[in-house]
A and B are shown apart, each in its own frame.
Chain A
């Protein structure tokens, strides 16, 4: 997730709470990396704690148009999505709200659940009511969160593990103060309904792995939580948490007559509302969880690029449409090769490796970055063009052999040329 800088052209909202501690809310500019057509605004909140420490977090609002353009808007009737990020810009909470009511969470999957309660006192906005880059809203509210299981909770902000921020990626230091809000601080007592935070409630709607068996489906569940980095953004785009109504369907229905040596196949074009990835169940029967993770991450990028090409001709989002056209014209008009050229030319190996490392960590592996980078090259040397690019990027023959051996070892869960797999068989 990417955020803009703190706005210095509008005042900071200050809210006094219990014990003389204050909350400061800052408006943020729009980030160049967020899709410009998406209706959203970001706030940065610094909350003083009675212990003397400060809690800092970001709130990303994606309101529905009806609410946003209503002059009498009130957060008590908010409709849309609210995401909460820590200072490292990592998602820690995600809620869907309609007319002020939290939409039911269909499935409870998070191990650590944040339970938040809030009370809204007022809302005020600055800028053109018709939207645009200079429009910001501020909320006067009290929010209290706790960590624990879905049935637990009750402790205060100070229990949240990301309490102590360090550094950050701000273009402007948000400690520059501002004028005090004229709004009256409300009573911090909490009597509103608890907001259950689950960052996958909509992901389930958009990445459909219902056709897969349980062990592969669990891997897809982990894939859905990969969020940081460029590949994380692509996965989230597919997942539907970034304003898309697109579906990615994963099944075992390889096309008739297909070569049994392949592990997977992704539809080369996106249909009107979905794209399919087909896993060759026969070929991956012995594959390790790391190999499956590699396949899923790799195919998710194909799905994203196919979706992007069909639906985002504005090329405003990371310019992938433009890049695909560029590489198609320079190298090979075949979509699959063009995608792979983009993987290699745009240095996606690092982001793929990063996504795999996040994936691997959630599976309990502690492997070197090099290992994940090797895995990231899977499928990227199967034509003359991509093979040449691969050889340029990995100039040493021994390194190339190691990469291929590791990929084979993980795919077949076998020792290949003395190289053993690090992962465990995904399905028994």
Chain B
């Protein structure tokens, strides 16, 4: 009766191994899940750094640029024309109308994003974002600004930046930038993440 005994032991051993395997797999799954979350946060932060640096390249030769954190709110900031909030301005038809009347904008936003992408982006507006102070060019000061109290002259340029919004697979990002020198303008920038990294593909006055 050796075989049955062996068989019992074998069955128990097999069951135990299976249980352990299941535990290992579960543990691995939990670990993987956690890793994905951490990676996303890291990825967002990296993406954000790269995008901010791309934006600031447009001002690299300008003296004294002040970048104001958390200063451009999607709900309470209006685009210049049409008096719509930034949130309302996330509309493909509206953006394409702007493009139609702006020089050099032959690449319509519809080539890159669809309505679902913009809907996905709009849902991110109210989620918190961890703004980190960046190491910037010596002429660029990245800080919290109380614009009402800032005393400006023509030697200062103020930039306000909105929270960057990403599409589902993080291949595109929209960010609004308001620039104030003697004039106030607000721009919609669309960035594309390709094999070379992030690249600005649209730059539109709104």
Which of B102, B148, B183, B187 has its CB near the most chain A CB atoms (within 10 A)?
A: B183
Q: B124 in the interface, Cβ–Cβ < 8 Å?
A: no
Q: A408 in the interface, Cβ–Cβ < 8 Å?
A: yes
Chain B residues near A385: list those with CB within 8 A.
Answer: 58
**A328-B104, A333-B104, A336-B205 known; A381-B62 Cβ under 8 A:** yes
Q: A376 in the interface, Cβ–Cβ < 8 Å?
A: no
**A310-B101, A383-B62, A408-B154 known; A257-B179 Cβ under 8 A:** no
Name the residue on A nearest B156 (C-beta). Answer: A261
The contact string, 1 if C-beta is below 8 Å from chain B, for chain A 291-315, is 0000100110000001001100000
Chain B residues near A262: list those with CB within 8 A.
Answer: 180-184
Name the residue on A nearest B102 (C-beta). Answer: A335
**A408-B153, A411-B153 known; A259-B184 Cβ under 8 A:** yes
Report B77 CB to chain A, min CB distance, Å: 3
Q: B59 in the interface, Cβ–Cβ < 8 Å?
A: yes
**Cα(A381)–Cα(B85), bound, Å:** 28
| In-complex Cβ contact of A257 among B76, B150, B187, B206 (8 A) | B76
Report A148 CB to chain B, min CB distance, Å: 42
**A328-B103, A383-B58, A404-B154 known; A257-B73 Cβ under 8 A:** yes
Q: How many A-B residue pairs have CB under 8 A?
A: 164
| Contact across chains for B179 and A255 when beta carbons are under 8 A apart | no
The contact string, 1 if C-beta is below 8 Å from chain B, for chain A 364-394, is 0000000000000011011111011001000
**Cα(A340)–Cα(B203), bound, Å:** 15
Q: A263 in the interface, Cβ–Cβ < 8 Å?
A: yes
The contact string, 1 if C-beta is below 8 Å from chain A, for chain B 57-89, is 111111000000000110011111101010000
**Cα(A80)–Cα(B11), bound, Å:** 106
Chain A residues near B80: list those with CB within 8 A.
Answer: 255, 258, 265-268, 278
| Contact across chains for A408 and B155 when beta carbons are under 8 A apart | yes
Report A344 CB to chain B, min CB distance, Å: 14
- CB contacts under 8 Å to B, within A257-285, are 257-271, 276, 278, 280
Name the residue on A nearest B182 (C-beta). Answer: A379
**Cα(A242)–Cα(B76), bound, Å:** 40
Chain A residues near B204: list those with CB within 8 A.
Answer: 333-335
The contact string, 1 if C-beta is below 8 Å from chain A, for chain B 186-206, is 110000000000000011111
| In-complex Cβ contact of A338 among B81, B85, B103, B154 (8 A) | B103
Q: A169 in the interface, Cβ–Cβ < 8 Å?
A: no
Chain B residues near A382: list those with CB within 8 A.
Answer: 62, 157, 179, 181-183
Chain A residues near B205: list those with CB within 8 A.
Answer: 268-269, 334-336
| Contact across chains for A261 and B158 when beta carbons are under 8 A apart | yes
| Contact across chains for B185 and A411 when beta carbons are under 8 A apart | no
Q: B173 in the interface, Cβ–Cβ < 8 Å?
A: no
**Cα(A254)–Cα(B154), bound, Å:** 19
Q: B144 in the interface, Cβ–Cβ < 8 Å?
A: no
Report B154 CB to chain A, min CB distance, Å: 5
Q: B142 in the interface, Cβ–Cβ < 8 Å?
A: no
Q: A426 in the interface, Cβ–Cβ < 8 Å?
A: no
Q: B152 in the interface, Cβ–Cβ < 8 Å?
A: yes
| Contact across chains for A334 and B184 when beta carbons are under 8 A apart | no
Q: A324 in the interface, Cβ–Cβ < 8 Å?
A: yes
Which of A258, A278, A387 has its CB near the most chain B CB atoms (within 10 A)?
A: A258
Q: A227 in the interface, Cβ–Cβ < 8 Å?
A: no
**A306-B101, A324-B103 known; A260-B153 Cβ under 8 A:** no
Chain A residues near B187: list those with CB within 8 A.
Answer: 334, 336
Name the residue on A nearest B77 (C-beta). Answer: A257
| Contact across chains for A266 and B156 when beta carbons are under 8 A apart | no
Chain B residues near A404: list those with CB within 8 A.
Answer: 153-155
Chain A residues near B85: list those with CB within 8 A.
Answer: 256
| Contact across chains for B61 and A416 when beta carbons are under 8 A apart | no
| Contact across chains for A256 and B184 when beta carbons are under 8 A apart | no
**Cα(A21)–Cα(B28), bound, Å:** 109
Chain B residues near A244: list those with CB within 8 A.
Answer: none
Chain B residues near A271: list those with CB within 8 A.
Answer: 81
**Cα(A269)–Cα(B98), bound, Å:** 7
**Cα(A412)–Cα(B185), bound, Å:** 21
The contact string, 1 if C-beta is below 8 Å from chain B, for chain A 408-424, is 10011000100000000
Which of B81, B148, B158 has its CB near the most chain A CB atoms (within 10 A)?
A: B81
Q: B165 in the interface, Cβ–Cβ < 8 Å?
A: no
* Complex A-B, nearest 5 residue pairs according to Cβ-Cβ distance, in ascending order: A328-B104, A257-B77, A268-B205, A259-B180, A262-B184
| 5 more CB-based (< 8 A) A-B contacts, given A268-B102, A382-B157 | A258-B184, A262-B180, A379-B182, A384-B61, A388-B61
Q: Which residues of B contact A (CB under 8 A)?
A: 57-62, 72-73, 76-81, 83, 85, 97-98, 101-105, 147-148, 150, 152-158, 160, 178-187, 202-206
Could you list 11 examples of A-B contacts with CB < 8 Å?
Answer: A257-B72, A258-B186, A261-B158, A269-B98, A325-B104, A327-B103, A336-B183, A378-B154, A381-B181, A383-B59, A408-B154
